[in-house]
Structure 1
Amino acid sequence: MTPYITEPSAWQESWDRQQEAYLPDREHRFAAMLDAVDAVTDGAPPRLLDLAGGTGTISLRTLHRHPDARVTLLDLDPALLALARASLAERATVVTADLARADWADALPYRDFDAVLTATALHWLPAERLAGLYAEIRDVLRPGGIVVNADHMPDDGLPELTKRLTAWARDRRDGRYAAGAALSWSDWWARAGADPTLAPLVAQRQEIYPTGHSPEWNPPVSWHLTALTAAGYTEVGTLWRGGSDAAVVAVR
């Protein structure tokens, strides 16, 4: 039974503000991702998979652009999934699956997506598993469909500038926290854990991720392009870049 969450839009806004402290250009990457989806569907309502979709950020923006889109959101986190179900309110299919397992696609309602989009999520997977996931994503796309992964992906040719960009972003983020302009990741989860409805789900989350997922792993764009090419996609490239972040795209 899905718990009743008071003011899901407020929780979604709070999540967005917390995430924007890390990613000030977050909306720019989402717009670039959805523009690519429009390009491969000629603007028609897409069949879209929001992979590791969390609270439904990408799903909500897809449905705002295309109210008739067929959207599926997949995640494992029980607290974020509850927020996604409340925010999406039957406008999307929400499924639970573990991307660390090769059978995650068994949870999907179908396997003929126009696009698979994911943002700031797959850096929790180790290299071998992420490479395998790229191949598995290919199998749930229709011919000509795309996968876009936006995450922390440094430019190989700018190692020193990347360090400076990262430090500058960290200082800016710390300043926002100090001024109360945004919640930190840990503060947001502390508030969710104090909410009577979300608290049991946050406790379940801690059982699933006792160490907080796993150590982050942020390879450069070149690693992703090589892995996508090896997975059998016909075209691979960089769709968007902002500072030390990028979105890679591949076409089946």
Structure 2
Amino acid sequence: MEVEMTEQAAGGAWRSWQESWDRQQEWYMPDREERFRVMLDMVEATVGTAPRVLDLACGTGSITDRLLKRFPRATSTGVDLDPALLAIACGTFDGDDRVTFVTADLKDPAWTERLPHPSYDAVLTATALHWLHEEPLTALYGQIGTLVRDGGVFMNADHMIDTGTPRINAAERAHRHAAMDRAKAEGAVDWSEWWALAAEDPVLAGPTAERLALYGDHADGDMPSPQWHARTLRAAGFAEARVVWSSPSDSVVLALK
């Protein structure tokens, strides 16, 4: 009974970290849940309700969490390099045989060899690929083109900036940051503060130090336009690609094989 209670307590702790990550991300992206809803709507529309999914740059498993709640017959492979976020993901889904996690660097040309399956119905990613510059991202899209089965789907939900609208971009950013400042004054936790809390946690302190050595505070990638993403995905072998959702700062680009 004592072991059972300890396992329950551990599960609750991982879930608490999972939820605190969600709150921190929502401070930057108030429309985050809407993005996930549309993403899963389009999964259902294109590949059904029992898909084999690759959760690319999965972090804490935010996509996997929502995927399995909506589609209990789905399966998910989460892949990431961040040891701290993977620790939260593995702890959250411990014992769920629908979920597998893989440690891999997406800039390593051989990362796909670590995956348990040669192809997937859907490859999904959110708020992650802006860590990559255009050249490695183009190479990654080429690999994703070989992982998605014919008729399958890839979706990227991320910051995508149209540089042709600088005044609109500046107005949107000022408005969004004013709202963020108000939320911060009311106690919202930002990226740096969240990682400081993780570094103080007895279980996460070690993995957090590892990820700091890997990445530094934050990677310096690119945020090309949605049109660039769609064009690059078509060149990678997808038959169709376009935006299926957007907010003033973010877009979901869908590519159909």
TM score, norm. by length of structure 1: 0.94
Q: Deviations over 1:74-127 (max 9, x none)?
A: 000000001001111232101100011111111110022110000010011111
**Secondary structure of residue in 1 paired with 2:123:** strand
Q: Are 2:40 and 2:67, in contact at CA under 8 Å, matched by a contact in 1?
A: yes
State how 1:23-102 maps to structure 2 within 5 Å.
23-41=29-47, 43-91=48-96, 92-102=99-109
Equivalent residue letter for 1:53: C
- Quote the Cα distance in structure 2 between the aligned partners of 1:90 and 1:137: 28
TM score, norm. by length of structure 2: 0.92
**Secondary structure of residue in 1 paired with 2:255:** strand
Q: Deviations over 1:192-250 (max 9, x none)?
A: 000011001101111111x3342142111111112112112100111110112101111
Larger helix proportion, structure 1 or 2? Answer: 2
Aligned residue number for residue 224 of structure 1: 229
Q: Does 1:177 align with 2:181?
A: no
Aligned residue number for residue 111 of structure 1: 118
Number of aligned residues: 246
Unaligned runs of 5+ in 1: none
- CA 1:6 to 1:28, structure 2 compared with 1: closer, same or farther past 3 Å? closer
Equivalent residue letter for 1:239: V
Unaligned runs of 5+ in 2: 1-9
Q: Deviations over 1:1-49 (max 9, x none)?
A: xxx67611111110000000000000001011111110122x3311001
Q: Are 2:52 and 2:120, in contact at CA under 8 Å, matched by a contact in 1?
A: yes
Equivalent residue letter for 2:92: S
- Quote the Cα distance in structure 2 between the aligned partners of 1:40 and 1:67: 17
Q: Are 2:162 and 2:224, in contact at CA under 8 Å, matched by a contact in 1?
A: no
Q: Does 1:193 align with 2:199?
A: yes
Equivalent residue letter for 1:172: A
Deviates more, 1:82-91 or 1:190-199: 82-91
Q: Deviations over 1:53-85 (max 9, x none)?
A: 100000000000111211110000000001001
Equivalent residue letter for 1:194: E
Q: Does 1:214 align with 2:219?
A: yes
Q: Are 1:119 and 1:150, in contact at CA under 8 Å, matched by a contact in 2?
A: yes
Aligned residue number for residue 248 of structure 2: 243
Q: Are 1:5 and 1:197, in contact at CA under 8 Å, matched by a contact in 2?
A: no
Q: Are 1:228 and 1:236, in contact at CA under 8 Å, matched by a contact in 2?
A: yes
**Secondary structure of residue in 2 paired with 1:101:** coil
C-alpha RMSD of the superposition: 1.4
Q: Percent identity?
A: 48
Q: Are 2:11 and 2:92, in contact at CA under 8 Å, matched by a contact in 1?
A: no
Equivalent residue letter for 2:203: T
Equivalent residue letter for 2:26: E
